[in-house]
Amino acid sequence: MAAPEKNQWFDDRCAEAFWDQQHAVPYQELLTDTLTMARPASGERWLDLGCGGGPLTVGLWRATRGGVDGIVAVDCAAANERAIAKVRTRLSPPASEQQIEFRVGDLSQGLQGLPDGAFDGVISGLAVSYAESRDPATGAYTDAAYRRIFAEVGRVLKPGGRLVFSVNVPEPKFWRVFWKSFGRGLRVAHARRVFFNALKMQRVGGWLKREARKGRFHFLPIEQLVALVESSGLRVVEHQRSYADQAFVMRAEKSAASGVAAA
C-alpha cells in the first residue's frame, strides 16, 4: 500500500499563508453568507471546526457583541493557536481563554473529547470536506471520515441546534477567487505578502483538486452533499453558492426532539 502524500493542512507554513485569505473579496462574501445563515445569539455556545486564523470565531463574537457563552475553535495546525491568541486581544470587548478556547484536533478522527449535546451551533469554513480515510485492506480512499464528521456534529449539538458550513464545489476554479479579489482593487496592509501568500494558496488549491479526484477529499455536487448530511440525522434547511460561486454554504438542523443524531 503506497503511503499518501503529506497532508499540507498540518503544515504551519500552509496555515500561515491562509491567514491572509480573509482579505479576499470572495472570502469576505463567504464569511457574511455563513454568519447570516448561522444567526448566532447571546448566551449560545459555538464550535468552530477548522477555525484557521479565526475569522468565523471573530464573526460569532462580533455578531453577539461578546454575548456568546463560549466558542471552542478547533484546527489541525498548531500554528493557529497563535492566531486565535491574537484574536482574543483584538476583540471588543476582549475575550478570555475560557471564552474562546483553541484546541488542536484532526477532523479525520472525529470530535474526540467534545461532550454530547454541548453546543447550540457548529460553524465551519471550507474545512470539513478534508476529513480523510482509507480502506485498511485496499488503501483506497473512502468517505467514511467525511460521513463520521457529520454524525459527530449531530452528537455534540443540542436538540434544535444547527450546523452552518461551507465546502468547495466540484472542480473549484480557485483562480476566480484570486482574480475577483485583485481585480476589484484589493487594498490591504502588507499587500506584497498577501499577494505571495495568495500564490501559495493557488498551489495548495491545485493539490486539493488532484487529491479530491482520488477520493481523498470531497468536493461533491449539491444533491450528493445534501444526501450525505441528511444521512447523519441532520435536516438540511437551506443552501446557496458563495465564494465567487466556488463554494456551497449550507445550514442543517438537529431535531428539537432528538437525542444524538444517527451515525
For residue range 51-79, what is the model confidence (pLDDT) as tens digits?
A: 999 999 999 999 999 999 999 999 988 88
Mean pLDDT over 168-186 rounds to 73
One-letter amino acid identity for 125?
A: G
Mean pLDDT over 230-235 rounds to 96
Per-residue confidence (pLDDT) for residue 197, from 0 to 100: 52
Which residues, 6 or more positions from 82, have their beta carbon under 8 angstroms from its beta carbon? none
Angle 258-260-263 from CA coordinates, rounded to 5° = 120
Residue 207, CB-side half-sphere exposure with 13 Å CA sphere: 14
Ramachandran class of 227: left when φ > 0, alpha when ψ lies in -120 to 50, beta otherwise: alpha
Closest CA to 35 of 169, 164, 162, 225: 164
First to last CA, the chain: 29
pTM for this prediction: 0.87
Check pLDDT > 90 for residue 146: yes
**H or E element in which residue 225 lies:** helix 222-230
- What DSSP state is assigned to residue 21? G
* Mean model confidence pLDDT for the chain: 86
C-alpha cell, 258: 432528538
Kindly report which listed range (12-21, 165-174, 247-256) carries the lowest average pLDDT score.
12-21
pLDDT tier at 262, thresholds 50, 70, 90: very low
Mean pLDDT over 235-243 rounds to 97
Closest CA to 102 of 78, 123, 67: 78
Strand segments, DSSP code E, in the chain are 45-49, 70-75, 100-104, 119-125, 133-134, 141-142, 157-168, 235-242, 247-253
161-182 CB burial, b ≥16 within 10 A, e <16: bbbbbbbbbeebebeebbebbe
pLDDT tier at 263, thresholds 50, 70, 90: very low
Per-residue confidence (pLDDT) for residue 61, from 0 to 100: 97
Q: What are phi and psi of 184, to 5 degrees?
A: -105, 20
Instruction: Answer yes or no: CATH 2.102.10.10 is held by domain 8-253.
Output: no
Check pLDDT > 90 for residue 166: yes
pLDDT tier at 201, thresholds 50, 70, 90: low
Mean pLDDT over 41-53 rounds to 96
Per-residue confidence (pLDDT) for residue 54, from 0 to 100: 93
Higher pLDDT, 150 or 192: 150
Check pLDDT > 50 for residue 261: no
Per-residue confidence (pLDDT) for residue 147, from 0 to 100: 97
